[in-house]
Structure 1
């Protein structure tokens, strides 16, 4: 009797008895730990890592599990890259510019002053050379990156005193995230990089004079308006900051191909989901902050002009001495020029018209 007749006539019991059933292979099960740079109270930016983990679990039918740990649970907020490099955790969710102290090039993977907005950043990453260039850079640290969200253009932060001109930056103790502190320092300010959970107390006690975080939705949760009434815009150092999943290269290489595809697609979902949440939630939060006494102010024009000039000088200096920066920046700069030309005739013109209407 041939195998086809056997399967037809013997039934499942007969097949099992003859040993003719196909072999059943155990499905791989992977368990990762992910360290976040953010506190659980920030459900948008911390929550993005949980969104990622849920997507990975669902698409793998529970075979790929990622446990998410808030800042301070398994390592400090600014220790997560070291944790990934050392293999203490397989992945982290963070803003790469926090780690510019290792190399300034980290900042380009997130946001630099007067850089790309969020749509332009995604275009550079997914359709330009951004992903390839940053992966080449992160390889030096034994990591790969997956995009993990974007906040969109941020606010300029909370100040205890009003700013009248660029001169008011001098001596200002300003909590500002990562690389942008280099520009503030050159403008005469005193940049400080504090984790989100420590900012309110520092403002309240007067340890710092000003602080920026993200925007209205997160800032309201952190209560900054209670201790620093002046709320400035725009956050010229974060036109479109990308948050990343940075993953230990050995852990990534050990994944089967389907798990790599699952993680890649889960990160893409998370990337869109985070900004959608910020864009949907920020307007109501801004109205509530103003009703609670926040005083909205644009940065003085001369401050913006000086900041742009100082930033441009800094980029040229870094290009002269840091080959990694020079390579990535050259491509980023070309992409930025083309994007701004395009947006000038489309997005910017449309937005200005719509914002002038009484809707």
Structure 2
């Protein structure tokens, strides 16, 4: 049996049951009558078509929805640029021109600054902690509240786990080396770099290589070895730095048009939510498996120079990050509640994580 089919078969029943019992799997309700009518949805993504881990993860989510619904709900996937540009996914789903999207919430920071909390916060929660906060710590309810005015229902639908600090065309020996640095880096990480004197740019994944190669940017972070190897970044940059301070465990999202969701029979609503949770775990497992293998290929086959950022640089960036994240609480009342919830969960879970993994 194929691994993905096994995951779907093994996980569907328990997740469907769990979602039916927990409020944090969604708030919308629908008809209790099951309809045999075939419903067709379109999914747009921020990822290049068929891109491993991310694009294929979105495709797997669509496949799961089709299989679990026995073909009653069919989802056609469009990669970035095939139907809408990568950074217009939020607006396309919000307007109802498509029913579902797949991406990462920090791409919408310009529209919703607090959205970054639900993808990645510099020096913040790792993948396990993010899942804990979202699914058991009240994070998902806050996420839904944030997106509600935009006619959207968010769900966690993947996690890229630990990341790298990125690809650089010059060595980073001190904080001064970040000043004036043109770097592709989204979300709060980009704001931290800006305050450190750098120039962050938001560039879709499929455009990063050309920007590096042509010298439009000096550095770039994307995900980690698995995806970075596929994009061939080692051909355009000399140094590969770690750790991924800017994204310690990035949650990927499915965003669902609220009206389209509420038009579904109640059993199909639960199937959509359960499929998101299955994809959430499956994508994380894939990155966990593939990153080590890809890193070895980058070093052994392509001679990539892997370097650790100096501790003084990390300490400075962390101090900037703490101040920046705290400022999010002053944006509005909802942002304050999101910040307080996130920070409380981080402090609570850190005690156990540090104790249990203190080796």
If the length of structure 1 is used for normalisation, what is the TM-score? Answer: 0.89
Q: Is 1:293 aligned to residue 303 of structure 2?
A: yes
| 2:127/2:249 contact within 8 Å kept | yes
Q: Is 1:129 aligned to residue 165 of structure 2?
A: no
Q: Is 1:221 aligned to residue 230 of structure 2?
A: yes
2:352: which partner in 1?
342
Counterpart pick for 2:322 among 312, 325, 345: 312
| 1:147/1:268 contact within 8 Å kept | yes
| 2:166/2:221 contact within 8 Å kept | yes
1:155: which partner in 2?
164
Unaligned runs of 5+ in 1: 1-24, 351-359
1:40-92: per-residue Cα shift (whole Å, max 9, x none)? 25221111111111111111111100001000011000000000111111110
Tell me how far apart the structure 1 counterparts of residues 326 and 66 of structure 2 sit (CA, whole Å): 45
SS of 2:43's equivalent in the other structure is strand
| 1:49/1:93 contact within 8 Å kept | yes
1:230: which partner in 2?
239
1:59: which partner in 2?
68
SS of 1:158's equivalent in the other structure is strand
RCO greater where, 1 or 2, for CA within 8 Å and sep 6 or more?
2
Tell me how far apart the structure 2 counterparts of residues 110 and 26 of structure 1 sit (CA, whole Å): 35
Residue 179 of structure 1 and its aligned partner are, at CA, apart by 2.8
| 1:109/1:134 contact within 8 Å kept | yes
2:23: which partner in 1?
none
| 2:114/2:328 contact within 8 Å kept | no
Aligned positions of 1:26-105 closer than 5 A:
27-105=36-114
| 1:171/1:189 contact within 8 Å kept | yes
Q: Is 1:174 aligned to residue 183 of structure 2?
A: yes
2:21: which partner in 1?
none
Counterpart pick for 1:279 among 288, 297, 309: 288
Tell me how far apart the structure 1 counterparts of residues 327 and 57 of structure 2 sit (CA, whole Å): 35
1:3-33: per-residue Cα shift (whole Å, max 9, x none)? xxxxxxxxxxxxxxxxxxxxxx961321100
| 2:326/2:339 contact within 8 Å kept | no
Tell me how far apart the structure 2 counterparts of residues 143 and 309 of structure 1 sit (CA, whole Å): 34
Runs of 4+ in 1 over 6 A off after TM superposition: none
Residue 235 of structure 1 and its aligned partner are, at CA, apart by 1.0
1:112-136: per-residue Cα shift (whole Å, max 9, x none)? 1111000000000111111111111
Q: Is 1:209 aligned to residue 218 of structure 2?
A: yes
1:133-162: per-residue Cα shift (whole Å, max 9, x none)? 111111121101111100001011100011
SS of 1:285's equivalent in the other structure is helix
SS of 1:179's equivalent in the other structure is helix
Tell me how far apart the structure 1 counterparts of residues 231 and 211 of structure 2 sit (CA, whole Å): 12
Residue 300 of structure 1 and its aligned partner are, at CA, apart by 1.1
1:309-344: per-residue Cα shift (whole Å, max 9, x none)? 111111222212332221101010010011111111
Tell me how far apart the structure 1 counterparts of residues 188 and 261 of structure 2 sit (CA, whole Å): 28
The structure whose Rg is larger is 1
If the length of structure 2 is used for normalisation, what is the TM-score? Answer: 0.89
1:269: which partner in 2?
278
| 1:48/1:274 contact within 8 Å kept | yes
Tell me how far apart the structure 2 counterparts of residues 344 and 62 of structure 1 sit (CA, whole Å): 45
1:20: which partner in 2?
none
1:116: which partner in 2?
125
Q: Is 1:195 aligned to residue 197 of structure 2?
A: no
2:269: which partner in 1?
260
